[in-house]
A and B are shown apart, each in its own frame.
Chain A
Amino acid sequence: MSEREDILISVHGLYKSFKKDSRILPVLKGIDLRIRRGEMIGIVGVSGAGKSTLLHLLGAIDRPSSGDIRFDGIDIFKMSDTKIAEFRNKRIGFVFQLHHLLPEFTSIENTMMPALIMGRKRNEAIERAKQILTDVGLRERFHHKPGELSGGEQQRVAIARALVNNPDIVLADEPTGNLDSETGRSIQELMCRLNRDKKQTFIIVTHNETIASKMDNILRLVDGRIL
């Protein structure tokens, strides 16, 4: 595979500003970036540096003020809302600091949700969810609801859900942010293992330098620019 084909995401001249009380607040001030398939990248920086904003743009949750993001060569912001939703469903997995699980649903149901949205049959989705939950070490927790799980276990369900559709990339925003250091380390080890074994591409926003040091590549964001 040539170097060029290996590029999963390329970002060109990305600007993003927010309007607040009629004042324009620039957050990202020209980001250029290339992410290779199978890479594990950490984004670090003080709060307000634009880490989460960059992650949201990479996941097509928000639109940039200018610049473009190409995913396998395709400009994602030229797509319609429906196409973007489909793209997000098939190719991107999200993991957030707050676990963002549906409280009324079991681990399996939470995990299979993206697969159902993708249009898979219920039985297939259940099988797939069970397999992934086993991979992340939750074989004994299939039928538990989020309230019955520990913080670390909830985050494992969130990771399983992010992986269920075999996405090209997993975007994680402070995935260990509200876990104790021991649990945080185990989550980080899980992501490293998935990256190593399944060649899963990860972009992880973190404050934690220990976690960042385990990454293939670290992007330091300072005042809306990459250092």
Chain B
Amino acid sequence: MIFFFIRYIYRIFREAILSIKNNRGINLITIGTFAISMTIMGGFLIVYINFKAVVNKWSEKVQLVIYLKDNLSIKDLEEIKKEISSDSGVDKYTYISKDEALKDFRGRLKENSSILNGLDTNPLPASFIITLKDDLRGSDYIKRLTKRIEGLKGIEDTEFGEGWIERFEIVTLFLRFVIIAIGGLLTIGLIFVVSNTIRLSLYSRQNEIEIMKLVGATNWFIRGPFMIEGLIQGLCGALLSLIILYIIYRLILFRFEYSVAILTGFAPIYFIPVDMIIYMITIGIIIGCTGSMISVGKFLKWSSISRSY
């Protein structure tokens, strides 16, 4: 049984390679279609990945500031600290004492800092500055956290730029929607174009399928080489598209580095990460393989053969 299986695998690979050699034109067209479609998809993926990175960078500005009352007991301060550090959504937090706040303020005023000399008391409150984890920087979470902290003893005020966060959320939600919609349409287009190309390439080989059936080949015997052929087409198409994408990526970095940097707020521009590359290759292989299998299946029905006589 195993011997038979190995012989079968060997045969379908040999036949597939022979067939690619014999049908070079059709294969090049199919691989080209694959490559172009996947380049468009991949280009889109790059835009999406970088969009996400930029959004992430912007959202780092989302901070929650908690102003504390003066003359807070150490016990109350520890209580607030404990509450903040125990929250699972908090990425990091810093405590700024009254003195530090004044020093900071002086630093910002620079040469005008002399106006503060007349002060006999420090009017600035002590505070905590909290940064949240990437995926929890929405207004809902911040509002909830703020509410909980405001309930504690010794809180003077809280601030997180509510209006800014809400506008930012609407904009990113809209952009995300646009990106998903375009991505979805592109995916449907890709499947449509690729499956049609495979079917067209098989039309010209319908005769071959019929002959194989007439001389007594089973369906899997006929399907096998076509599936391997589809697999190779998908693999080549995906690899080709990655090469094209990488060249375009390098070109953009090289030629338009400065203008792109302004667009992205000086965030670095990323290429498709390795795990996504593996996904793209896998998707190419799966579409090629199953596309061929389904298309050949249509020609394997006897009705399509009998009709031709």
Contact = CB atoms under 8 A, between A and B. Distances in A.
Given A52-B309, A86-B216, A88-B216, A117 B221 contact: yes
A211 B77 CA distance: 111
A114 interface: yes
Contacts of B214: 59, 61, 88, 94, 96, 100
Contacts of B208: 102
B10 to A, nearest CB: 11
B207 interface: yes
Interface string B205-221: 00110111111111101
Contacts of B215: 88-89, 94, 113-114, 117, 161
Contacts, number: 58
Nearest to A97: B309
B37 to A, nearest CB: 28
A85 B214 CA distance: 8
Interface string A42-86: 000000000010001001011000000000000000000110011
Contacts of A52: 309
B22 A104 contact: yes
Interface string B162-182: 000000000000000000000
Contact of B217 (A85, A94, A102): A85
B306 interface: yes
B302 interface: yes
Contacts of B210: 100
A48 B89 CA distance: 80
Interface string B3-37: 00000000000000000001100000000000000
Contacts of B244: none
A101 B211 contact: yes
A156 interface: no
A173 B309 contact: yes
A86 B218 CA distance: 7
Contact of B306 (A61, A88, A101, A104): A61
A163 B117 CA distance: 112
B303 to A, nearest CB: 8
A90 interface: yes
Contacts of A56: 306, 309
Contact of A102 (B211, B221, B305): B211
Contacts of A102: 207-208, 211
Nearest to B208: A102
A52 B307 CA distance: 11
Given A86-B216, A86-B218, A89-B215, 9 more contacts: A61-B214, A81-B219, A82-B218, A88-B215, A96-B309, A100-B210, A104-B22, A117-B215, A117-B217
Closest 6 CB pairs of A and B: A89-B216, A88-B216, A114-B215, A104-B22, A85-B218, A94-B214
13 contacts: A56-B306, A59-B214, A61-B214, A85-B216, A87-B216, A89-B217, A92-B216, A96-B214, A100-B207, A100-B210, A102-B207, A113-B215, A117-B217
